[in-house]
Each structure stands twice: as C-alpha cells, then as structure tokens.
Amino acid sequence: MSPRLTRLARLMDLATLAALCALPLAVLAGAWVAEPADLPFPLPEGYVPAPARLLTALAVGALPMVALGLTLWRMHLLFRLLFSGNVLTHGAALLIRRIGTGLMAVALLRIAVIPAQSLIVTLAAPPGSRQLLLSVSSADLGFLLAAGLMAVIGWVMEDAARATEENRGFV
C-alpha cells in the first residue's frame, strides 16, 4: 500500500473522529438556542407554535444528523481498515456500501424533514394557516445521486473482493 494512501487514510480518520465529536455538540447547541424563527420555513403570521410542537419539530430535524453520525462511524471504521493495509477486502467493500446507503438515508431524511416539521408545527394553526411544505434542491438531488453511486461502488467492490478471495482459494 502506498504511503500516500496511508497518510490520507489517517488524516481522514482524524477528520471523521473530529466530526463525530462535533456533531452532537452542534445538535445540542442548535436545540439550546432554537426559536420558531429558526425553522427552515416561515410560520403563518401571528401564529406561535406550542413549545412541545417546536421541540418535536426540532427532534425530527435532528434525524438526518443521527443517520450522519452512524455514517461517520462507518467512515471511521473504513479509514482504520485502509491505513492498516486492508484495502481490497470484503470488510472494506461492505463498509463502503453501508456508507453509501447511510448517505442516501441522510439525503432522503433531509428531503423529508421540512414537510414533517411544517406539518407538526402548523397542525394546530387555525384552518387556512396550516402548511405542508416540500423543498428539494439540486444539491439534495446531487447528494442523493453521489450517495447512490457510492453504494453501487461498494456492491461492485464486494463482488470483486469475493472473487479475489475465491481466486486465492484456488492457488
């Protein structure tokens, strides 16, 4: 294995661990200072949601971060495998596929969060003021496609690792 790959895997492992540590702190800090005006959509004029609805919406908004945390953990495990020299193995391929599917979950949850939050927060609003908002950006779609590509690469690598292991058995 090349020294550059080893160095990059170590660097990415450290960055992943730093992100894993920062993620819950960022979620807690966001929840601590959250106000209705911080929601990713406008509220009906004069409507102030109940604190329980706001907290529920914030909890729903944190779901993509939970999926991201699990995905970051899998990235940490993958980088550990890589800098220990286990590059073309079934374990590395499986982690790559799971990272891809985890990132797909993050993308899908990000798309689903705003409609869920808008419904939760405005369900108690007066009739005619309730909202169900859907927002999908090209960045969301690009992220979803890139995550899907990573999952497919993981599946291809799993097949390649399996074939490599079978070939080793014949030698």
The tens place of each residue's pLDDT in the chain, 171 residues long, gives: 788 988 999 999 999 999 999 999 888 887 777 676 667 777 778 888 888 888 888 889 889 999 999 999 999 999 999 988 888 888 999 999 999 999 999 999 999 999 999 899 888 888 888 888 888 999 999 999 999 999 999 999 999 988 888 887 776
Could you tell me which of 35, 96, 18, 105 has the C-alpha nearest to residue 65?
105
pLDDT for position 171: 61
Q: Say which DSSP state 40 is in.
A: S
CB atoms within 10 A of CB 31: 13
Q: What is the model's pTM?
A: 0.84
pLDDT for position 79: 96
pLDDT for position 65: 93
